Chain A
Amino acid sequence: MSRNSDVLRGMRDAVPVGLGYLAVSFAFGLAAARMGIPALSATLMSLSNLTSAGQFAGVGVIAAGGGLAELALTQLVINARYFLMSCALSQRIATHAPLWQRAVVSFGVTDEVFALSMAAPKPLSPHYSFGMMGVCIPSWTLGTALGATLGGVLPAPLMNALGIALYAMLTAAIVPPSRDNRLLRFIIVLSMAVSGAAAVLPVLSAIPKGLRIVLLTMVITGWAALRHPLEEAPDA
């Protein structure tokens, strides 16, 4: 497939994600403004970071007058899951893709872009990623600017309704392949059950959420890979 059509396909597939990003980044801009972060700063943060949980935590640290080390450590813990996602992605990108393309693709690794990338045909075309980034980065940045400047003009039920959009997209990325695969279905249910339990159990719930996600992923995925190794090259 040609580069241009890969870019267009990426843009088209990312439209729902872009709409969800508009809503969530609007909420982020609003939250940042309420914590005293200037609109320009919040917008630049979205443009350069492109991550939801990390930014929410980041403005919290900044507003509380935290230091650079604390800020860096918070990002490291909360965003550590991207490391695992990038490991999985590294094996999907066409091996002949030049290094600069890999460097650009890396910037756009978000939970939703990762979900779309793993659902895309293999090998993953960097231009497909560029297309997704072309939609996701502007909408994440624009939503932040709007939220930070317009503030609470949207009624609460509408904001609440939009808050669930990203979870719906992540669900729509992992559940469909599980319909015809009992093992995947079991792994999804198991992961959610363990995660739900870990959020309320005494010792586990004390671990910061970002770190908990990484720990649970390592343990559950490690178990699955040992008990149910793939038959051959992973093409499923």
Chain B
Amino acid sequence: MHNIYLMIMVMALVTYFIRALPILLLRRQIRNRFINSFLYYVPYVTLSVMIFPDVLTSTGMLWSALAGFGTMLVLSFMKKNMFLVALASCLVVFLTETLVA
């Protein structure tokens, strides 16, 4: 194993560089309609892509993950707050896993 502190530093630098470059360089308001539209849609698309299908393998079994996923979709659609959505989804997963197992 290489020096582990050096490796951690390299990881941190690469990750910071990725995050900081756009924020430090794009300081003026962009006027281009396409770019503005693109940046407006980015959160919805990228977070959706990250959630599914990974959420299905985030627990111990597919059934509990499906139950939790359904819970978070319904409650979010009802505009419940983030804390409640997270708590309810965890609870549903826990109950499903203890009942099914």
Residues of A bordering B, CB below 8 Å? 15-17, 19-20, 37-38, 41, 44-45, 48-51, 54-55, 58, 62, 65, 67-68, 71-72, 75-76, 79-91, 93, 95, 99, 102-103, 105-107, 109, 111, 114-115, 118, 156-158, 160-165, 167-176, 178-179, 184, 187-188, 191-192, 194-196, 199, 213, 216-217, 220-222, 224-226, 228-230, 233-234, 236
Contact = CB atoms under 8 A, between A and B. Distances in A.
Nearest to B57: A163
Contacts of A184: 44
Nearest to B54: A167
Interface in B39-96: 39-55, 58-61, 64-65, 68-69, 71-73, 75-77, 79-83, 85-86, 88-91, 93-94
A192 B51 contact: yes
Pairs of residues from A and B, 4 with the lowest C-beta to C-beta distance, nearest first: A191-B48, A175-B76, A106-B20, A90-B26
A168 B51 CA distance: 9
Contacts of A109: 19, 23
A71 B1 CA distance: 12
A173 B41 contact: no
B24 A103 contact: yes
Contacts of B61: 160
A172 B22 contact: no
9 contacts: A20-B86, A49-B8, A76-B14, A82-B15, A83-B21, A85-B46, A164-B58, A188-B44, A191-B48
A172 B30 CA distance: 28
Given A106-B16, A163-B58, A172-B86, 5 more contacts: A67-B2, A102-B24, A172-B75, A174-B44, A174-B76
Contacts of A80: 18
Nearest to A64: B1
B53 A196 contact: yes
B10 A68 contact: yes
Nearest to B60: A160
A107 B50 contact: no
Nearest to A220: B45
Contacts of A236: 40
Contacts of A37: 4
Contact of B15 (A51, A160, A216, A224): A51
Contacts of B68: 161, 164, 167-168
B28 A49 contact: no
Nearest to A191: B48
A62 B1 contact: yes
A90 B18 CA distance: 13
B37 A228 contact: yes
Nearest to A41: B4
A70 B59 CA distance: 29
Given A111-B50, A192-B51, A68 B97 contact: no
